[in-house]
Amino acid sequence: MPGANYFSGSFTHRIDGKGRVSIPARFRALLEDQGESEMMVIPSYKDGVMEAFPRRVLEGIFERLEEKDPQSEEVEDLATYLFGGANTLSFDKDGRVVLSPELQEAIGVTDQVVFMGRADRFYMLSPERSKEVLEAARIRSREKHRGALAPRRRAPLVQVASLPDEDA
């Protein structure tokens, strides 16, 4: 945990009768490092995937864009999408959040959720979908970024390869 900067790894957790799920301890620790006891989830551009952010990351995205061009239709749409589509999930002392039936349905989960780290955020999706997403990303990465995992000449030990956004 100490020094972890990014969400990484995949964890499958169980949803109980009330819709509660434990956030993976590592993810929770990362959120709490930033003084947040909540996260924001929003449907991804990818189908069947929810993205989870610390709140300030989401707000930062918005503020940065608004600063640039407050009136534009694009920023309007983005604000609607980000803030209208977002849910704030605050976790209790045990590190659990409640997934409303709508949220469960949105990502097609019933009794298990996968938390998949993805740098500054993480995904929440069904076990099946997570395999697809991971495998698709692996294949595309192999094709386009053969060298990504090779040692870099000047790279420090902890350097993380920055992969571009994959396509839906």
**Residue number with CB closer to DNA (94 or 143):** 94
**Residue number with CB closer to DNA (30 or 58):** 30
> Which of a second copy, DNA, none lies near 62, with the C-beta cut-off 5 to 8 A by kind?
a second copy
Side-by-side strand order, sheet with 112-118 = 10-14, 112-118, 121-125, 49-53, 38-43, 87-90
C-alpha to C-alpha distance for 67 and 57, rounded to whole angstroms: 15
> Which of a second copy, DNA, none lies near 168, with the C-beta cut-off 5 to 8 A by kind?
a second copy
Distances, alpha carbon 125 to alpha carbons 53, 95, 106, 141, in Å = 14, 18, 9, 21
Told to check if 121 binds a second copy by CB under 8 A, we report: yes
Contact (CB, 8 A) for 21 and 13:
yes
Q: What is the DSSP letter of 148?
A: G
> Which of DNA, a second copy, none lies near 30, with the C-beta cut-off 5 to 8 A by kind?
a second copy
C-alpha to C-alpha distance for 45 and 48, rounded to whole angstroms: 9
Q: What is the DSSP letter of 137?
A: H
Contact (CB, 8 A) for 42 and 82:
yes
Q: How far is the CB of 51 from a second copy (least distance, A)?
A: 7
> Which of DNA, a second copy, none lies near 71, with the C-beta cut-off 5 to 8 A by kind?
none
Binding site for DNA (CB under 7 A): 1, 11, 13-14, 16-26, 28-29, 90, 92-96, 98, 100
Give the chain's radius of gyration (CA, Å): 17
Tell me which residues in 74-113 interact with a second copy (CB under 8 A). 74, 76-88, 90
> Which of DNA, a second copy, none lies near 104, with the C-beta cut-off 5 to 8 A by kind?
none
**Residue number with CB closer to a second copy (17 or 71):** 71
**Residue number with CB closer to a second copy (43 or 95):** 43
